[in-house]
Amino acid sequence: MKRLFPILSIVTVAALAYALYEALVVAPTDAQQGDVYRIIYYHVPSAWTAFLLFFINFVASAGYLARSSEASEKAAKWIAIGIGVLGIIAPYVPLVRSRIPPGMEPSAVATTIVLIPVFYFLVMKFFPGDRLDILALTSAEVGVVFCTIVLVTGPIWARPVWGIWWAPGDIRLTSTLVMWLIYVSYLVLRRFSSSAQTQKLAAALAVFGALDVPLVYLSIWYFRTQHPQPVIGGGGSMDPRMLHILLFSWLAFLLFGFLVCWSRFRLELLQREVEQAHAMESMAGGAESVKMSLPLGRSSR
């Protein structure tokens, strides 16, 4: 795996460079917005990557809470299976289908919901023990970075197009900011709390914060907002050349996000191993000092 890291780094740098070239040179100019629209090739992929990382954080946090007992772990498995079954059936029920936004296919909704149990079982299998908590922490950290990019590039794009940096009261913008604040709070809790229950409290906060992710995505359909409709998933359209470049930019961002997560995961794992080794040495040293003090205590009598 260590030999794969340099190769992945080179591929990621090449993909990011090519995506930048495609976005600035190859992509056609938008007829209405002009060249300023090209920020979409960083704004949208950053948002999609942040959503994915927060989703991984949610799955890992839920799995960490479920592992607190054997009964809760079994219950979580059945809940995950139930969500998958319900996700396959519910979008095709007439009452539910009528509430799906126009242009969004029921199959897309079903696929998205089925990914929840799929990710859950994959994460629970490949991240045993303390690695599950490390995955949750890592995905949240990198997700906040990408979400910050979204909040920075959004106003830069909005200023020349809308005439304002920020639209007060806009549900998409507000819910995105709230999502960012929730996960920043998660990281602050993990960083500065020394309680024995910190990991569980942070996991519970992450599960709660994940509820804001679908609100951010669906807000443009169910609320009045200045934010444009998405280019993928119904409600929007895009020149095929622009769409291909956008998808490649997302691929480059995914590679970069994976690379950073991988580095951060290894660093956090190593740090915890060092802390555990120091703790074991301290315990061994304390036990040895107690043994050495016993004969002295007896001879004093």
- Token pair belonging to 265: 């995961």
- Domain assignment of residue 239, yes or no: yes
Instruction: Check residue 301 and give its pLDDT.
Output: 40
Query: Average pLDDT for consecutive 10-residue bins of the chain (301 residues)?
Result: 83 94 87 82 92 93 87 90 90 83 78 88 87 93 95 86 74 87 92 81 89 80 66 62 90 95 91 82 67 53 40
Residue entry with tokens 């995506």: 19
Tokens of 39: 């920020």
Q: Is residue 81 part of a domain?
A: no
Of 247, 233, 236, 238, which Cα lies nearest the Cα of 106? 233
Q: 219 is in which domain, residue-wise?
A: 4-67+129-266
Q: Residue 279 domain-assigned? A: no
User: Does residue 194 lie within any of the structural domains?
Assistant: yes
pLDDT at 175: 85
Q: Is residue 280 part of a domain?
A: no
237 domain residue, yes or no:
yes
Share of the chain above pLDDT 90, in %: 34
**Number of domains into which the chain is organized:** 1
Tell me if 199 is assigned to some domain.
yes
Q: What does the alpha-carbon distance between residue 11 and residue 130 come to, in Å, rounded to a whole number?
A: 30
Residue 252 C-alpha from the chain's centroid: 16
19 in a structural domain: yes
Calculate the alpha carbon distances from 128 to 60, 164, 199 in Å: 11, 48, 15
Query: DSSP character for 27?
Result: S
Paired tokens of 90: 């519910």
pLDDT for 299? 43
Global pTM reads 0.86
Q: Which amino acid is at 111?
A: T
- Which residue type occupies 196? A
Tens-place pLDDT, residues 184-216: 999 999 888 777 788 889 999 999 888 888 888
